[in-house]
Structure formats: structure tokens, C-alpha cells
A and B are shown apart, each in its own frame.
Chain A
Amino acid sequence: MNEKTLFMLKKVLFYAFIFTVVAWIIIPLIVSALYAFSTKTDYYDPNKVIPTSFTSEWVKIILFTLGAWDGIKNSVIVALLTIAISFLLGVPAGYAIARYVFKGKDTIKLSIIALRMFPIPIMAIPLVVLYIKLHLVDTLLGVALAHTAMALPFVVLITSSIFASVDKELEEAAMVFGLTRFGAFKAITLPLALPGLAAAAMFTFVMSWNEVFVASVLTLKNRTLPAQTLSIVAGAAGGAAPAYYKFAAAFIMVLPAMLFIFFARKYLITMWGITLR
């Protein structure tokens, strides 16, 4: 075999590998979306690999009869509350870490990183006891408070790396021209950091949107979408829902998350790179 064919062969193998992995990621998404809308007869027809007749019945039942629509509303409220609280607390901390040199900074930063790894169940289970006392059980605020504890370390680290990427000298120049530190922050740093902060907010949204353990443990009637889905398809009875309900539920859950990644894809890689080092 000469060098040229070897090169071509390597190239073909490379593309075959990439193609296989990409197909492995994408095909289940397409199939579950198709099955979500397939009719019952098509689903149980062993000869129909790909359904040809479609209905929106299952999606509608999941949404309106089994409460997924309320779950969506609850999920959105919880996620927005989580963003609001975690940014209110996290952005000042992120700014401080990015801009000031102070004693104990590394220790604080390290502890915050360590808290990112904190197991969620150990937070959620005892919180039930506290929430009973505070009358927060089964409230969306209660879930949001717990989700904030989960998202806050992330918000601090990501905002600090976003602020650090905004040139310090621009802010100092603004201060030379008579602005206060806060004024300079508002006029210069904040607008420049805004796209990054928006990406961080979207990521916080997705974290909260996807979280199921805390939400399932802390709520009963006011469930978020994942918690509601879990109880529909795998409740105490243990997966009693018919298969086509499951596909419809999957479709409803995946759609918003995929929209997010479409909008935030530019930031995803840099965001994680900086935060995790």
C-alpha cells in the first residue's frame, strides 16, 4: 500500500468513526420524537420500524390530562427564581473574586469549587424536615431555594471568569474620569460581561429545569416537569404508564433543552474550560 492510499484509508476511517458517534447521539433523539407522535397501531406493528401515521394524542394527554403543562409552568417559575436568587448572591461574589486581591481568596474559591461537588440527596432529604417547620414543603420557592444552593457555586465561578475576561483597565479609566467604582461597573463592565452572564443564566436555567431529585422529594402537588414526569411514568406502581406515554414525555422534556443549546453553543466550551481549571 502506498502512502496516498494509506492516507485516504485513514481519512475514511476517521469520518466513519465521527459519523458513527454523531449518529449514535442523534438517532435516539429523532426516533423518540417520531414515536412520541406515532399511533398505537404503528407502535405495536412489528413491521413498522419507522411510524407513518401520526397523532398528537399522547403529547396532549401528557400535557393536559396528566399535568405536564403545570409541570412546565412550575419548572419555569422555579428556574427563574433560581436564576434571580443565585445571580443576586453570586454576581457580587464573582466580581469580588475577579477584581480584588484579598486574604483568604484562594481558600474561599477552593471551598466554593468543592461545594459544586456536594451530593444533592444529602441536601434534599434533611431539607424536608426544615421545610416542614418553615411551611415551605410543596412550594416552588422551596425548590428554588434548594436549586440555588446547587447552582450558586457555579454562578460564582462562571461570573468571576466572565468579569476577569473584561479588561480591568477600561474600568480604571472610567474611574479616572470621575465615575465611582459602582458607576464604572455599571457603565463599562456590566455591558461587556452581559453576553457571558446571559449564557450563565441559561445554563442555570437548564440545571434547574433538569433537576429531579430535589424537586421530587420537596414537592407533592406542585411538581416541576421532571418530577411530574417521573411520577407519571415510574410512580409508586413502577412504570405503569404505556410506552407511548413515555415517548411523549421524553419529547416534551427534551425540546426546550435543545433550543437552549442551539442558542448558547458558542459559549459552552469556553464556559466550562474556565470554570473547571
Chain B
Amino acid sequence: MKIRSSHIPYLLILPAVAYLAFFIGYPLIQALYLAFTKNGAFSLDTVRRATSDPMFWQALKYTILLAITIVPLQLILALILALAVNGSFKGRDFAIYALVIPLTISDVAAGLIWYTMLADYGFLNKLLLNLGLISEPIHFFGYEYRMMEFLAIVIAEVWRATAIVFVILVAGLQMISKEYLEAAEVFGAGYWTRLRKIVIPMLKPSIQSALIIRTLFAMQVFGIVWILAGRDIPVLAGEGFYQLVEIKDYGVASIYALTIAALSILLGALYIKFLKAEYLEVRT
């Protein structure tokens, strides 16, 4: 059997594309089916069941609230750190190594680690008590302390997931040609001018990728919330999980999943529209 050589790339790609199409396409159709039918006919019954539950709106609120708290913090911190380690200084390699460690730590593990730090008998409380800075432990966990649970999630998520933003930005910084910066310096541009006129614009594609990735993952936040707050702080993925595993309501679970997907698509489209990358150089 002779295969035409122009077909080869397609044949090489086909298995991967077919696999993805099946594992993304089938669940998507199935989710729509579970969410919008009843006894085989189109029905909004499941939608009504999901949206009449106050937990749905709470989950939507907290998911968005967490994202708009965490993502900007991560971006700013990662940008400062990336710029800081871009120069050379003593201990730079160790600093980079330490900063990327959380990259491989799962959200469940990060949740557990921060529980260790913030529990009533945790490190932070014991430290502050022994230093005499507080006389009562600070309570982070429990339904009455929901805002503190929220704070604990924010701390743990910033701790865990800033690394990915940092890595993307460091990689982006390394791709900026030194010549631009040197030329700007020759013409008398100070650090801030160079940062504003050259570094940030050229870093825009990296910032955009990092923002998209972090925001979309924030829509799916689950393990860390489940560990630190359980359902005190409901989030979309957590409620979907709860509906599926505890209530066994596949339809409502699908609606949670579809809400995450809809939010992801919406946010992805917004980012691409409003953060159009400007290239200072023609890329080949």
C-alpha cells in the first residue's frame, strides 16, 4: 500500500485529533443532553431545579469573587518576581528553584499544607501567640469564620499557582532581545521608561497566556476549596462534584459543568479581544 506523501501529516495528526474530538465532543453533547432533556424530550426542568437552589448562585458568586481576587494578585506578584530574577544576583538559581516548587504541588496538597499553617493549633497561630502578638488564636476555619476561610483559600491559591504565571513570564522575558533594551539605554531611557515602552508591550503575549490560563483554571477551582472550606464557600466545580457524588443528580451536575464551560468560553473570548498582542518585531 502506497500512501501519498501529502497525506502523511494528516495521518500523523488524525489519531490525536480523533481522540480529543471524542473525549471533548461526546461529553459536551452528553452534558447538553443531561441538562436539557427529561424523559427523552427537550425540557428546562433540570435548569429550573439547578437555578432554584440558592447554592447555585452562591457558587457562581464565590467562583467569580475568588477569581477576581486571586488572579490580579498573582499577575502582579509574578510580574514583579519575574522582573526581579531576570537580572543576575547572588542566589538567583536557588530563588528561581524555590519559586517554581509549587508548580508541581497539587491543589489538594496545597490545601492541606495551608491547613497546617492556619489551623487553630497551626504554625501561624502558635508563632504569633508565642511572640505575644495575639492573645487568642485567629480562627480561619468553620462556618462562622467564612471570610477567613475565603482568605485562607486566597493565600493558598496565590502560594500554589503564582508559580505558573511566574514561569510563563520568565520565559517571555528571556525571549525579549537585549538589543532593544541596550538601544533604549543608549538613547537615555531610564528603567521605568524601558519597562513601560519595551518590556511590558513585548511581554504582552506571555501576560495574555498567563491570564487566560489562570482565569480559566480559577473557574474550575475545586480541591483547595474542598479541603479548606468544604461547602462553606461553594464553588461551581465543588457543587457539581457534590451533586454528582452525594445527590447523584447527573442533570444538575451537568448544568454546573456547562456553567463553567460557558464562563470559560466567555472569558477566553474577552481576553483575546481586549488584550490583542502587539508585536514590536515581525515574527517568522
Contacts and interface: CB of A to CB of B under 8 A. Distances in A.
Given A28-B113, A122-B257, A216 B99 contact: no
B211 to A, nearest CB: 11
Contact of A230 (B23, B28, B223): B223
A203 to B, nearest CB: 9
A269 interface: yes
Interface string B79-122: 00100110001010011111111111111110011111101011
B104 A260 contact: yes
A189 to B, nearest CB: 14
Contacts of A162: none
B113 A112 contact: no
Contact of A29 (B101, B115, B167, B171): B101
Contacts of A126: 26-28, 30-31, 34, 254, 257
B183 interface: no
A268 B27 contact: no
Given A122-B27, A277-B205, A18 B84 contact: yes
B99 to A, nearest CB: 6
B209 A32 contact: no
Q: How many residues of A sit at the interface, in one of the four size bands?
A: 35 or more
Interface string B222-243: 1100110011000011001100
Candidate in A49, A95, A97, A274 with the most chain B CB atoms within 10 angstroms: A49
A95 to B, nearest CB: 6
B144 to A, nearest CB: 15
B126 interface: yes
B106 A257 contact: yes
A272 interface: yes
A273 interface: yes
B147 interface: no
A119 B34 contact: no
Nearest to A153: B20
Contacts of B23: 123, 127, 145-146, 148-149
A121 B30 contact: no
Given A21-B81, A230-B227, A273-B172, A129 B108 contact: no
Interface stretch (B10-18, B39-47, B68-76, B193-201): B10-18
Given A28-B117, A230-B226, A257-B104, A123 B109 contact: no
B60 interface: no
B181 interface: no
Given A120-B220, A276-B206, A268 B99 contact: no
A32 B112 contact: yes
A54 interface: no
> Which of A126, A128, A234 has the most chain B CB within a 10 Å cutoff?
A126
B22 to A, nearest CB: 8
A49 B109 contact: no
Contacts of A90: 16
Contacts of B237: 120-121, 213
A146 B20 CA distance: 10
B13 A247 contact: no
Given A21-B81, A31-B117, A117 B212 contact: yes
Given A32-B116, A249-B112, A122 B28 contact: yes
Contacts of B104: 206, 210, 257-258, 260-261
B17 A93 contact: yes
Contacts of A58: none
Contacts of B117: 28, 31-32
A243 B216 CA distance: 31
Contact of B100 (A48, A146, A261): A261
A6 interface: no
Interface of B: 6, 8-10, 12-13, 15-17, 19-20, 23-24, 26-28, 30-31, 34, 77, 81, 84-85, 89, 91, 94-109, 112-117, 119, 121-123, 126-127, 129-130, 159, 164, 167-168, 170-172, 174-175, 205-206, 209-210, 212-213, 216, 219-220, 222-223, 226-227, 230-231, 236-237, 240-241, 244-246, 250, 253-254, 256-258, 260-261, 264, 268
> Top 7 nearest A-B pairs by Cβ distance?
A273-B171, A210-B106, A250-B112, A126-B30, A149-B23, A257-B104, A96-B12
